Amino acid sequence: MNAVAANNQGVSLEVRGLRRTIKGQPILKGIDLTVRRGEIFVIMGPSGSGKSMLLKHIIGLERPDEGEILVEGCSMRAPETMSRYRLAMVFQSAALLSSLSVAENVGLYLCEHRLKPPKEIDRIVAEKLELVGLKGTESLMPNELSGGMQKRVAIARALVIEPQLILYDEPTSELDPLRAVSIGREILALRDRTHATSIIVTHDRDLAFGVADRVAIINEGKILFAGTAEEVHHQPDPVIREFLTVTFKPINHTEQP
Amino acid sequence: MFQNIGEMWLLFWRTLEALPLTWRQRRKVAEQLFEIGNASLLMVCILSLFIGGVIALQTGTRLAERGLASLLGGLVGLSMCEELAPVMMAVLISGRIGSAIAAELGSMQVYQEIDALRTMNINPIHYLVLPRMVAISVALPILVVFSMLVGWAGGALVAAANPEIHVSVAAFFSDLRHAVRMFDISKGLIKSLVFAIVIGTVSCHQGLQTIGGPRGVGRSVTKAVVNAIVLILILDYFLTRFLVYFER
């Protein structure tokens, strides 16, 4: 195992010429991007732009037609890469196993891979749940939790893996603004504590510019721009400008008595 | 269709390869066994009692007319253990358990729970398919034995109670013991094991292939039940041919 994997630091990620077509419809049209060790990299874009599909390719749930994904220079297609580096993903829907309790969900990775004895797993589960502010919820079932709590359990489940790369798919969708801010703070705190590399896919502008070290804008399967938040704000591209500045204006506002 | 058959073979083969991991998944196997037993046992008893009774009623009166009522025990015994118990129980389990498996795995697929397992390097075949396949392969032959016994009892009750047939319970079972050999019971058990594998493979495959939302889950459940029943009935013919050949 190399030094990076051994010391629990984040890993670098490189995506080269990633292309994917599903049922004749091109979803990813040659994605190139680089994520540095330990940074929070946000991928923003409108719905249907290919953000979540890109994330699924990075974690290995989908296979690209062309191109490759490199973690610390090792191809994700190589079988040893997944075992050498610890990757975790927090799904948009939380994706907790509905038949398992909160504690069983969080401890599932350790339990199934028999990495720790049961008492140690209980201790780690309690510790991770406390980290995400859900102490004492071990025995609850996922359907007894709110959407925000489910997302935090999903984050705790990812943390148990002690990931070097953690992927968040729309972490603030379906959450009220207060919960969204608390999830954003959670992501920042986790990066500071674990030094893991984080990739966040979102269309929540507040979250993106609140936590990102760098931001990439994706549209129709292509990366339009990648850079710091300030650089993105100064981009003249009309698609980026519209995406960053569009606001809701009530149509009949002036007709109100 | 051929793609589906190929995928099912692959799923079955991968499950076979994972068989040595069964002991590790014993808790889940036990949970599934309890689920199957709990959901089916009462239904198996009711269904089998009436199937045994109907065969005795339909054939008993005709045999009695020809003075052959004493052969009724053997006829009900052989019908139940060679054909009706394995086939009817397989159809019942397809409806009750196969549909439940397809719905559960389908929902897990739709709500990305299976993707979540994959990201944790947990193989869904080891974690989800193996316990269900092992449990159904153990449970169905046991349920078929129950079905045979209850079916025989149903036949004996009808034969004794119906004045047109009028064969005592002792005479019924005496003929049954004479006619039914261990090989006949084994034939039923072999069939039930094959049917269990078919139900498990088809249901798990349909569940894992689910796409779309709740409508997709519904579609998978329907396909799982229909495909399993069709396959069971087709395989029943070929299995019977195969076992008859061995009997010679």
Whether A102 and A210 map to the same domain: the answer is no
Residue showing tokens 């401890």:
A107
Site from B25, B26, B115, B120 to mutate, A interface, most A CB atoms within 10 angstroms: B120
Residues in chain B closer than 8 A to A92 (CB atoms):
112
Do the domain assignments include residue B19? Answer: no
Do the domain assignments include residue A184? Answer: yes
Structure tokens at B45: 């008893």
Question: Which residues form the domain of B153?
Answer: 2-14+28-247
- The pLDDT of A16-37, averaged and rounded, is 90
Looking at residue B64, what is its pLDDT?
84
Q: Supply the CATH number for residue A25's domain.
A: 3.40.50.300
Number of domains in chain B: 1
Least confident range from A1-10, A39-48, A185-194, B126-135: namely A1-10
Q: For A199, how many CA atoms within 13 A lie in the half-sphere containing its CB?
A: 29
- The pLDDT of A82-104, averaged and rounded, is 89
Looking at residue A5, what is its pLDDT?
43
Looking at residue B22, what is its pLDDT?
87
- The pLDDT of A161-185, averaged and rounded, is 84
**pTM recorded for the entire structure:** 0.84
Residue A5: other Cβ atoms inside 10 A: 17
Looking at residue A251, what is its pLDDT?
66
Neighbouring residues of A87: CB distance < 8 A, sequence distance ≥ 6? A59, A60, A71, A161, A163, A164, A165, A166, A167, B119
Do the domain assignments include residue A255? Answer: no
Amino acid identity of residue B208, one-letter, is: L
Do the domain assignments include residue B21? Answer: no
Instruction: Give residue A179's Cα distance to chain centre.
Output: 17
Do the domain assignments include residue A210? Answer: yes
Looking at residue A2, what is its pLDDT?
43
Per-residue pLDDT tens over the stretch B63-99: 888 888 788 889 999 999 989 999 999 999 999 999 9
Per-residue pLDDT tens over the stretch B19-37: 998 888 898 899 999 988 8
Do the domain assignments include residue B188? Answer: yes
Looking at residue A3, what is its pLDDT?
42
Q: Is the pLDDT of residue B186 over 80?
A: yes
Looking at residue B240, what is its pLDDT?
92
Do the domain assignments include residue B151? Answer: yes
Looking at residue B245, what is its pLDDT?
84
Q: For A222, how many CA atoms within 13 A lie in the half-sphere containing its CB?
A: 5
Kindly report each contact of residues B156-163 with a partner whose C-beta sits within 8 Å and lies 24 or more positions away, as own/partner: B156/B52, B156/B56, B156/B73, B156/B76, B157/B53, B158/B52, B158/B53, B158/B56, B158/B57, B158/B60, B159/B56, B159/B60, B159/B69, B159/B72, B159/B73, B159/B76, B162/B56, B162/B57, B162/B60, B162/B61
Burial A17-53 (b: 16+ CB within 10 A, else e): ebebeeeeeebbeebebebebbbbbbbbbeeebbbbb
Domain termination site, one of A140, A161, A182: A161
> B190: pLDDT confidence band, cut at 50, 70 and 90?
very high
Whether A172 and A205 map to the same domain: the answer is yes
Looking at residue B153, what is its pLDDT?
94
CB B167 within 8 A of CB B62: no
A97/B127 touch (CB, cutoff 8 Å), yes or no:
no
Whether A1 and A80 map to the same domain: the answer is yes
Domain termination site, one of A111, A132, A161: A161
Cα separation, B171 vs A74, whole angstroms: 77
Do the domain assignments include residue A257? Answer: no
Residues in chain A closer than 8 A to B112 (CB atoms):
91-93, 95
Per-residue pLDDT tens over the stretch A109-157: 999 888 889 999 999 999 889 888 888 889 999 999 988 889 889 989 9
Looking at residue B51, what is its pLDDT?
94
Shortest distance, CA B33 to any CA of chain A (angstroms): 16
The string of DSSP letters for B154-203 reads HHHHHHHH-TTT---HHHHHHHHHHH--HHHHHHHHHHHHHHHHHHHHHH
Looking at residue A8, what is its pLDDT?
63
> A253: pLDDT confidence band, cut at 50, 70 and 90?
low
Residues in chain B closer than 8 A to A61 (CB atoms):
115, 118-119
Do the domain assignments include residue A254? Answer: no
- The pLDDT of A98-116, averaged and rounded, is 92
Looking at residue A203, what is its pLDDT?
83
Cα separation, B227 vs B183, whole angstroms: 29
Q: What percent of chain B has pLDDT over 90?
A: 65
Whether A5 and A120 map to the same domain: the answer is no
When computed from its CA atoms, the radius of gyration of chain B, rounded to whole angstroms, is 20
Q: Is the pLDDT of residue A70 over 70?
A: yes
Whether A154 and A179 map to the same domain: the answer is no
Whether A157 and A168 map to the same domain: the answer is no
Cα separation, A75 vs A55, whole angstroms: 16
CB A14 within 8 A of CB A69: yes
Looking at residue A254, what is its pLDDT?
56
Q: What percent of chain A has pLDDT over 90?
A: 30
Q: Which residue has the higher pLDDT, A240 or A64?
A: A64
Whether A108 and A139 map to the same domain: the answer is yes
B118/A61 touch (CB, cutoff 8 Å), yes or no:
yes
> Of A63, A79, A92, A47, whose CA–CA distance to A219 is shortest?
A47
Strands A222-227 and A214-219: antiparallel
Number of domains in chain A: 2
User: For chain B, what is the mean pLDDT?
Assistant: 91
Whether A240 and A170 map to the same domain: the answer is yes
Q: Is the pLDDT of residue A4 over 50?
A: no
Structure tokens at A110: 């350790």
Shortest distance, CA A242 to any CA of chain B (angstroms): 32
A130 torsion bin: left (phi>0), alpha (psi -120 to 50), beta (else): alpha
Structure tokens at B109: 């697929």
CB-closest option in B117, B119, B122 to A59? B119
Whether A170 and A61 map to the same domain: the answer is yes
Do the domain assignments include residue B63? Answer: yes
When computed from its CA atoms, the radius of gyration of chain A, rounded to whole angstroms, is 19
Helices (DSSP H) in B111-168: which residue ranges?
113-119, 124, 130-161
**Which one of A189-203, B26-40, B223-237 scores highest in mean pLDDT?**
B223-237
Structure tokens at B192: 């039930």
Whether A47 and A61 map to the same domain: the answer is yes
Strands A197-202 and A40-44: parallel
Whether A53 and A147 map to the same domain: the answer is no
Do the domain assignments include residue A242? Answer: yes
Q: Is the pLDDT of residue A40 over 50?
A: yes
- Nearest residue on chain B to A113, alpha-carbon basis: B122
Domain termination site, one of A121, A143, A161: A161
Q: Is A82 on the interface with B (CB under 8 A)?
A: yes
Question: Which residues form the domain of A214?
Answer: 1-86+164-246
Q: Which residue has the higher pLDDT, B179 or A176?
A: B179
Whether A138 and A197 map to the same domain: the answer is no
Residues in chain A closer than 8 A to B127 (CB atoms):
112
Neighbouring residues of B73: CB distance < 8 A, sequence distance ≥ 6? B155, B156, B159, B167, B171, B172, B173, B174, B175, B176, B177, B178, B179
Shortest distance, CA A175 to any CA of chain B (angstroms): 18
User: For chain A, what is the mean pLDDT?
Assistant: 85
- The pLDDT of B11-15, averaged and rounded, is 93
